[in-house]
């Protein structure tokens, strides 16, 4: 009976980690594609230029693949060391995520102020050599969210040292439309607009976060259950 239970958990954990590993491959693939085709896509921070969507996906995908691989081998080989390593790695990631979420809610106001200040510094890199990722990100955000600047379209005046904005701020896009009058530009601040959009989609974000947490808890449960079963089987055989 115990042997059958161990075999069942073994194959369930193997399938779970195989899917985990394949998910990591997909995330890594998207990250590499973005890095190759779009440069440092979605880089908005001047303080952390490497903190781009492409780099985040590459790092995340790599970690997920490593963890999934360790879990797969540990399950199929019934290796106590690998099972325990998988459990510890997944537990550390889960605790780090939980810590980040708690700190985010505790220091929301400070994060808001720092983020706005850092984004305004980043505007000065717009259109400069080696900052195609930041340039593309701002162009996409301002076009899709129909906004201009971080807190106001006048943020761009400090960048250009004149009364003008990027063409992506225009109500109707045309070449050099950013040189026209303010009446032809979007007036909404991008920071608040994106923040409101996130708040409106908070349920979807919450569901995604909850599903991610449940998957991690399921992986921790599988790993520890199988580890205990392997230890019991070794003890019984001894």
CA distance 18 to 12: 10
Range of the domain at 49: 1-147+188-237
Query: Residues 20-63: pLDDT tens digits?
Result: 888 888 888 887 877 776 555 556 665 565 666 677 788 888 88
Instruction: Return the pLDDT at 149.
Output: 92
Residue 157 counted as domain residue: no
Per-residue pLDDT band for 234 (boundaries 50, 70, 90) equals: low
> What six digits make up the tokens of 204?
């979807």
Residue 166 counted as domain residue: no
Residue 40 counted as domain residue: yes
Residue 100 counted as domain residue: yes
81, 37 Cβ separation under 8 angstroms: no
Residue 180 counted as domain residue: no
Residue 93 counted as domain residue: yes
Instruction: Return the pLDDT at 236.
Output: 62
Average per-residue pLDDT for the chain: 83
Identify which has the larger pLDDT, 163 or 6: 163
Residue 86 counted as domain residue: yes
> Phi first, then psi: what are they for 185, rounded to 5°?
-115, 160
Number of domains making up the chain = 1
Query: Residues 110-158: pLDDT tens digits?
Result: 888 888 888 888 888 888 877 777 888 888 899 999 999 999 999 999 9
Residue 181 counted as domain residue: no
């Amino acid at each position: 009976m115990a042997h059958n239970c161990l075999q069942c958990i073994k194959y369930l954990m193997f399938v779970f980690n195989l899917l985990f590993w394949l998910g990591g491959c997909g995330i890594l693939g998207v990250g590499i594609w973005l890095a190759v085709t779009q440069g440092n896509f979605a880089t908005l921070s001047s303080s952390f230029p490497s903190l781009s969507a492409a780099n985040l996906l590459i790092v995340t995908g790599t970690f997920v693949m490593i963890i999934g691989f360790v879990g797969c081998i540990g399950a199929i080989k019934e290796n106590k060391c690998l099972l325990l390593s998988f459990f510890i790695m997944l537990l550390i990631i889960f605790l780090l995520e939980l810590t980040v979420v708690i700190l985010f809610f505790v220091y929301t106001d400070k994060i808001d102020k720092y983020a706005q200040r850092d984004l305004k510094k980043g505007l000065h890199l717009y259109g400069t050599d080696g900052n195609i990722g930041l340039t593309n990100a701002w162009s996409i955000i301002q076009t899709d969210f129909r906004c201009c600047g971080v807190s106001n379209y006048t943020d761009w005046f400090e960048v250009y040292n004149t009364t003008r904005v990027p063409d992506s701020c225009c109500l109707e896009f045309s070449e050099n439309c950013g040189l026209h009058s303010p009446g032809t530009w979007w007036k909404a601040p991008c920071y608040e607009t994106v923040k409101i959009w996130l708040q409106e989609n908070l349920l979807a974000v919450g569901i995604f976060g909850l599903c991610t947490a449940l998957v991690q808890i399921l992986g921790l449960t599988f790993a520890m259950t199988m580890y205990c079963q392997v230890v019991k089987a070794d003890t019984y055989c001894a």
